[in-house]
Amino acid sequence: MKRLSDELGVDLWIKRDDCTGLSTGGNKTRKLEFLMAEALEQGADMVMTQGATQTNHGRQTAAAAAKLGLACHLLLEDRTGYDEANYNTNGNVLLDHLHGATTQKFPAGHDMPGEMERAAEKKRAKGHNVYVIPGGGSNATGALGYVNCAFELLGQFNDASLKVDRIVHATGSSGTQAGLVAGMCAMNAQIPVLGIGTRAPQPKQEQMVYDLACKTAEKLGCPGVVQREHVMANTDYVGEGYGLPTGSGIEAIRMFAELEGILLDPCYSAKGAAGLIDLARKGEFKGERVVFLHTGGAAALGGYDFAFDSSDRWVTL
């Protein structure tokens, strides 16, 4: 990212997992490659998952289900309390419905995994074979998608003779970072992976990633390769809470859009990029080559139009 690198004085590169293909792309597509294969193996005719109203994971699950001819049901938790029409019907929600998924809404703080089990039982009683995917697709099966991403990155660095000092990305339900860390450790790559938090406080976020990275390494056939010190999360950029845009996130969205022509989302990739930008400005990456893993999410932008003031873009000549 030449213009952003010049702006921040750090050699910044980007891995475009916002271009993974299904329904505008994003990080869940890699997880769904493995999760949907398991669903098909188990003879499922329906998949079910849960997340926030503007869940990118839900939208990509709906798209993957459409491609494979499976039904899809999404349980959406109102984690932000926004009653703006676009937040509730546009962005990812619009795309969920375009892909044929059915949706159900729940208040914040609801027991979503429990609710999902109850919903799956109801569908099973009606004869469906339901495959339940945890929120964010974050279990050891889904995280294998990011082991694959780690292998792919190492191959690309190698092919381009690129020495990379660090990988930075937004972390949430933990599967992306867990898979990357497990993959890097399995290959003894020793490239630090820094997750920028979007919800949980640091100790909880790191513990979640570590636990899942260990399980993923085990599933991969490399038990014990992940050590606690391989897991690093910085949660200084969450702001007031999950899904609530921050000033630094909005600035990151504008910088990526105006300097690189790349779109971020306010909930995840903007907070990840806000961390990247702030740490770069503070000199934390001095002399380093850093890869920002773009995890996608721009499909949510249409649901967050109220977070942007573009009045100065309308001009009279």
Ligand X SMILES: Cc1ncc(COP(=O)(O)O)c(C=O)c1O
Residues of the shown chain interacting with ligand X in the complex, contacts defined by CB under 6 A: 26-27, 56-57, 136, 138, 170-177, 265, 268-269, 295-297
Q: Of the residues 87, 131, 146, 268, which is catalytic? A: 268
Burial classification of residue 64, based on how many CB atoms lie within 10 Å of its CB (0-12 exposed, 13-18 middle, 19 or more buried): buried
Burial classification of residue 207, based on how many CB atoms lie within 10 Å of its CB (0-12 exposed, 13-18 middle, 19 or more buried): middle
Alpha-carbon gap, residue 15 to 178, rounded angstroms: 17
**Residue 146 among the catalytic residues:** no
**Residue 28 among the catalytic residues:** yes
What is the closest distance, in whole angstroms, from the C-beta atom of residue 176 to ligand X in the complex? 3
**Residue 210 among the catalytic residues:** no
> Which is closer to ligand X, CB of 176 or CB of 280?
176
> Which is closer to ligand X, CB of 105 or CB of 122?
105
What is the closest distance, in whole angstroms, from the C-beta atom of residue 22 to ligand X in the complex? 13
What is the closest distance, in whole angstroms, from the C-beta atom of residue 229 to ligand X in the complex? 19
What is the closest distance, in whole angstroms, from the C-beta atom of residue 208 to ligand X in the complex? 9
DSSP β-bridge partners for residue 194: 168, 232
Q: Of the residues 31, 242, 271, 304, which is catalytic? A: 242
Helix then strand then coil, in percent of the chain rounded to 5, is: 50, 15, 35
User: Residue 114 in 3-state DSSP?
Assistant: helix
What is the closest distance, in whole angstroms, from the C-beta atom of residue 264 to ligand X in the complex? 8
Q: Of the residues 28, 31, 215, 271, which is catalytic? A: 28
> Which is closer to ligand X, CB of 264 or CB of 280?
264
> Which is closer to ligand X, CB of 2 or CB of 228?
228
Choose among 209, 220, 164, 157: nearest CA to 191.
Answer: 164
Which residue minimizes CB distance to ligand X? 297
Asked if residue 247 lies in contact with residue 276, where contact means CB atoms within 8 angstroms, the answer is no
> Which is closer to ligand X, CB of 53 or CB of 177?
177
Active site residues: 28, 242, 268
